[in-house]
Amino acid sequence: MPTFLQSYDPYREVPMAEYPVPSATEQAEAVEACARAQQAWAIRPTGERVAMLDALEAVLVKNRKEWAECAAREMGKPLDQALAELDKCAWLCRYYRNHAEDMLAPETRLDNAEDGRAYVRYDPLGLVLAVMPWNYPFWQVFRCAVPAITSGNGLLLKHASNVPGCALACQEAFAGAGYPPGLFRTLLVGSDAVEDILKREEVQAASLTGSEPAGKAIAEAAGRVLKPCVLELGGSDPYIVLRDANVERSVQIAVKARMQNNGQSCIAAKRFIVEASVYDRFVDALVAELKNTRIGDPLEDGVDLGPLAKADFAEDLEQLVQKSIKAGASLRYRGATPPQKAFFGPVVLENVEPGMPAFDEEAFGPVFALIRADNPEHAVRLANKHRYGLGASLWTGDLDRAAVLAGQIQSGQVFVNRMVASDPRLPFGGVKRSGYGRELAREGMRAFTNAKTVAFAALDRS
């Protein structure tokens, strides 16, 4: 078990800070304090809990630049994207401030003389253990924590070990907004501590965003103690471009959809399935667009691509590329790569087919896997030929056909003539091995509540 977690700058290749890991006794005390805070919090009127979101938004706005720089330093995110991430967290607070009270209000289901009266109320479960990834160190936490806490739960955060500064900033945000002490608690622990925390009686549910192996581990641990969980796991999102699409626009968005967060996003476009009649045009325009990519210090304005979060991620990505080439893919373009070990310049692979790592695996970095489709039906079959089903982007000028094809694509969300993106107003999650459960919108607000039926007998009027 580690005795400290280290914050490390992948661009400057220097450690930033060390944070002590709490002892087992300290962890237990934190869980118990969170449980006490939650019990008092749960009985407060819903309107009071919802109103706290105004102060939380204000704290995010106040600390926006400092916390964005923390994310850029700890995991290499370009600063403008980190700032946008903090802005999105603030938007989340505003959205739920306006809608959460209605989402949590009791719903009448029966009310008549014969059957009596019955309603459903949405009560909190207790403590939620949130196991969160490094790639969106604020957004991933807030999209889980805001609805969970607003619905009356307490939250224990086990963040990724390489972003401890961001993890503590998340705790600081809730404390600074005036939430009860201990209601949101960051535990700077390693993954080896997760199962023991989940076993504790006070913890009633878990949420994990991360890899497929991590999701399996959490699901197995939660299953052993019969606790529900929400899992958002890997993705190898198809980006389908049909012959009647606006090819030039699809290319512009393709670059953004693949390169967001240095290519390290579960919902980044990864498999580019292009109908044969426009394939060459798409690839030529894509390569031309990528040549304008600015790679460098994530803290500098205008940088499109910073380093990957860790140097070994770049090594893993290089192996995926080389194995795919060995299996028959061809290298069409490779962008310049700075000398820092964590950098990985954009790569375009052509002739990618099922069975190659670039098709079958989740390439967590700026690798564009190009696949030629014979027709729209073939494109959908290729899109579905994968164990993941998180998101999909479909480009076509025929919106009626898009609606039909969207129903055939196996994914949690399909965006037509747009890149896939999470939105507080829309439920978010996957199918197949991309996980289960939903975050955001009404579904996310109720994810960690007990839909409790309360029924009254009809009055005896005899």
State the fold for domain 237-416.
Aldehyde Dehydrogenase; Chain A, domain 2 (3.40.309)
Per-residue pLDDT of the chain (462 residues; tens, 9 = 90+): 668 999 999 999 999 999 999 999 999 999 999 999 999 999 999 999 999 999 999 999 999 999 999 999 999 999 999 999 999 999 999 999 999 999 999 999 999 989 999 999 999 999 999 999 999 999 999 999 999 999 999 999 999 999 999 999 999 999 999 999 999 999 999 999 999 999 999 999 999 999 999 999 999 999 999 999 999 999 999 999 999 999 999 999 999 999 999 999 999 999 999 999 999 999 999 999 999 999 999 999 999 999 999 999 999 999 999 999 999 999 999 999 999 999 999 999 999 999 999 999 999 999 999 999 999 999 999 999 999 999 999 999 999 999 999 999 999 999 999 999 999 999 999 999 999 999 999 999 999 999 999 999 997 655
Predicted local confidence at residue 136, as pLDDT: 98
Q: Coil, helix or strand for 294?
A: coil
Contacts of residue 4, defined as CB under 8 A and 6 or more positions apart, other chains included, come to 18, 19, 20, 21
pLDDT, position 1: 61
Rounded-to-integer distance, Cα 338 and Cα 300, Å: 15
pLDDT of the residue at 51: 98
Q: Which residues are catalytic?
A: 232, 266
Say if pTM beats, i.e. exceeds, 0.85: yes
Closest CA to 251 of 135, 360, 370, 81: 370
CATH superfamily of 4-233+434-454: Aldehyde Dehydrogenase; Chain A, domain 1 (3.40.605.10)
Q: Which pLDDT belongs to residue 420?
A: 98
In the block, which residue shows the tokens 């940088």?
303
Q: Which residues in the chain are classed under CATH 3.40.309.10? A: 237-416
- The reported pLDDT for the residue numbered 461 is 58
Q: How far is CA 268 from CA 64, 141, 154, 256, 271, in A?
A: 24, 19, 31, 9, 9
Q: For 218-233, what is each residue's pLDDT tens digit?
A: 999 999 999 999 999 9
Q: How far apart are CA 66 and CA 69, in angstroms?
A: 5
Domain boundaries for CATH 3.40.605.10 within the chain: 4-233+434-454
Question: Amino acid identity of 266?
Answer: C
